[in-house]
Amino acid sequence: MTSWNRRGVLGASATATLLGLTRPARATISPDWTSLRSRWQVPGWFREARFGIWAHWSAQCVPEQGDWYGRLMYVEDHPHYAHHLRTWGHPADRGFLEIENLWKAENWDPAYLVRRYKAAGARYMVALACHHDNLDAFASRHHAWNVTRVGPRRDIVGTWERAVRAEGLRFGVSNHTSHAWHWWQTAYGYDTKGPRKGERYDAFRLRREDGAGTWWDGLDPQELYGGGHPAPPDGLASPQAMADWHATHGGRWLDHGPGPDFAFAAKWLLRQQDLVEQYRPDLVYFDDAGLPFGPLGLTALAHYYQQAEAWHGTADVVATAKLLTDYQQGALVEDVERGYSETLRARPWQACTCIGDWHYNRQRFIDKSYVPAEQVIRRLVDTVSKNGNLLLSIPLRGDGTIDAEEERVLDGITAWMAVHGDTMIHGSRPWRIYGEGPTRIAGGQFGESQAAHMTEQDVRFTTKGGAVFAALMAWPERPVRIAALGTAALGGAVIERATLLGGGTVTWRQDASGLTVTLPRKAGPRIVPVIRLEGRGLV
């Protein structure tokens, strides 16, 4: 049995046991920041890649209602609850475990999708391995609720991995499981009004023995739903009272461990180690502020890097997490969810975002409200200019396909990257400054809407092969002056050539106050023009 001390920290012998290293290449990496920092640095492939695509795909895409369907279908008066009543019935009778099994991936063509992503300029692809709904999308050896027994009845992560490797791309996985213990708390509740007032939802009442003769015969719903931490008490009199109770007894989002339930955290570690050992990912995305579960998160990271040393000779892999200190960023890469950096960062980092909801939302297709290709490219260029990578999700339906509007967005990204990707994105580095312009962007998570209306005066720079690339965030209809490229700002450096990528004549003049450029009229769907600049002293 795993031993914990009074503060819930694993003892040294238990940590060593759970580390579970199978083929140590060098001295064991200790599960502490000092050891991790000494054995890892950002690998060159990640800095070269700059752009990845993410299949944020799970059973929550089946209802086609967008994000967090599993949790919110149990929230009385929420639109997801109403949709569930109309479509599948009351959550006391048919809960989310039934939706897990409706995920069949029947039209999924991973080889086609990976080729599509590669053509769009992605140099790595990330597959969701387990979301907060606690269904492992891989052939899990430590969690019975996985896709070889439920839903698709096939190894989703393993199939992605083979398709990605066949195209020569780097392969990553994302792990969101650490939140499952509290995310499912709503499934233990009940209606506070109406004809079924007080009747508990399925998670509260179902046990392994209830599955006899059903499709989930032999599976324990409590293993899926997390066991309740804790369940709401009887007698809450309104949806607001239920919401208030949840807010004070677990809330909607926690990044610390599950109170005294150390078994959940220990099993999380085993599942994470299994994921690494089976699929040898080049990248692991942790959906956590810092690493989850204190010492167990450090143990997971040490295990990953130790495995990578056994595979490659060095820890030539990337792990990402959120809201990291500078010290922590010496051991893994910071991810900024749906947000920006306001500065050019010295350390490589990653921004993650989506063209719609994280999970497929049919309304986006109907409304034609996906983020357009031009805005994606602006986001990519801004991120790369600040020493970051962009990880972009293209939501899949439950059947494994993308819709016609998503295809159209991908077409736009592909056309731009065909001209500019290998020139000023892949393998590029930041210039002296990231750029200039009137649009002010605050850093941090969930702030991406602030840059939706960038103008031609907003300029971003990268450098590669001895040239500087200046990207204008909108196609200009009149001359644009770039102050950072004047001889005064450049300390006497002289621009000798200016070339518009993709063709067309650029008229330009450099003086002390700036570089003034005039571009040809915009032709057809061209977006985010980029000027290649060469000369003396620019780089």
Average pLDDT over residues 440-447: 89
The whole-number pLDDT of residue 8 equals 36
Which CATH superfamily, name and number, covers 454-536?
A: Golgi alpha-mannosidase II (2.60.40.1180)
Long-range pairs of 96-100 with CB within 8 A, sequence gap ≥ 24: 96/59, 96/69, 96/70, 96/133, 96/187, 97/202, 97/206, 97/216, 97/221, 97/224, 97/225, 99/59, 99/60, 99/62, 99/63, 99/69, 99/70, 100/59, 100/133, 100/135, 100/145, 100/150, 100/151, 100/224
pLDDT tens figures, 294-328: 999 999 999 999 999 999 999 999 999 999 999 99
Assess whether pLDDT exceeds 80 at residue 521.
Answer: yes
Q: Flag whether the pTM goes above 0.85.
A: yes
Assess whether pLDDT exceeds 60 at residue 260.
Answer: no
The whole-number pLDDT of residue 15 equals 46
Q: Which ranges in the chain are annotated with CATH 2.60.40.1180?
A: 454-536
Q: Which two tokens stand for residue 299?
A: 């143990």
Nearest-10 Cα torsion for 28, 34, 36, 40: -120
**Structural contact between residues 487 and 494, judged by C-beta atoms closer than 8 angstroms:** yes
Assess whether pLDDT exceeds 80 at residue 108.
Answer: yes
Q: For a pLDDT cut of 90, what percent of the chain falls above it?
A: 87
pLDDT tens figures, 272-296: 999 999 999 999 999 999 999 999 9
Q: Which residues pair with 174 in a beta bridge?
A: 128, 285
Q: Which amino acid appears at position 104 of this protein?
A: K
Ramachandran region, residue 378 (left: φ > 0; alpha: ψ -120 to 50; beta: rest): alpha
User: Is 335 in a helix, a strand, or coil?
Assistant: strand
CB contact set of 195 (below 8 Å; sequence gap of 6+): none
Q: Which ranges in the chain are annotated with CATH 3.20.20.80?
A: 33-182+256-337
pLDDT band at 451 (very low <50, low <70, confident <90, very high): confident
**Structural contact between residues 209 and 154, judged by C-beta atoms closer than 8 angstroms:** no
Assess whether pLDDT exceeds 90 at residue 66.
Answer: yes
The whole-number pLDDT of residue 252 equals 56
Average pLDDT over residues 161-188: 96
**Structural contact between residues 11 and 4, judged by C-beta atoms closer than 8 angstroms:** yes
Rounded to whole angstroms, the Cα distance separating 15 from 13 reads: 5
Rounded to whole angstroms, the Cα distance separating 461 from 447 reads: 22
Assess whether pLDDT exceeds 50 at residue 12.
Answer: no
Which CATH number among 3.20.20.80, 2.40.30.260, 3.30.428.10, 3.40.1280.10 corresponds to the domain 33-182+256-337? 3.20.20.80
pLDDT band at 466 (very low <50, low <70, confident <90, very high): very high
pLDDT tens figures, 370-427: 999 999 999 999 999 999 999 999 999 999 999 999 999 999 999 999 999 999 999 9
The whole-number pLDDT of residue 524 equals 83
User: Could you identify the residue written with the tokens 């450098």?
Assistant: 463
pLDDT tens figures, 116-155: 999 999 999 999 999 999 999 999 999 999 999 999 999 9
Least confident of 8-12, 175-179, 184-188, 376-380: 8-12
pLDDT band at 251 (very low <50, low <70, confident <90, very high): low
Q: Which residue has the higher pLDDT, 447 or 356?
A: 356
Q: Which amino acid appears at position 349 of this protein?
A: W
The whole-number pLDDT of residue 68 equals 96
Q: Which residue has the higher pLDDT, 187 or 447?
A: 187
Assess whether pLDDT exceeds 60 at residue 250.
Answer: yes
Rounded to whole angstroms, the Cα distance separating 254 from 182 reads: 8
The whole-number pLDDT of residue 259 equals 62
Q: Are strands 480-482 and 124-130 parallel, antiparallel or unpaired?
A: unpaired
Q: Which of 355, 225, 184, 299 is nearest to 286 (CA)?
A: 299
In this structure, what are the phi and psi dihedrals at residue 190, rounded to the nearest 5 degrees? -165, 165
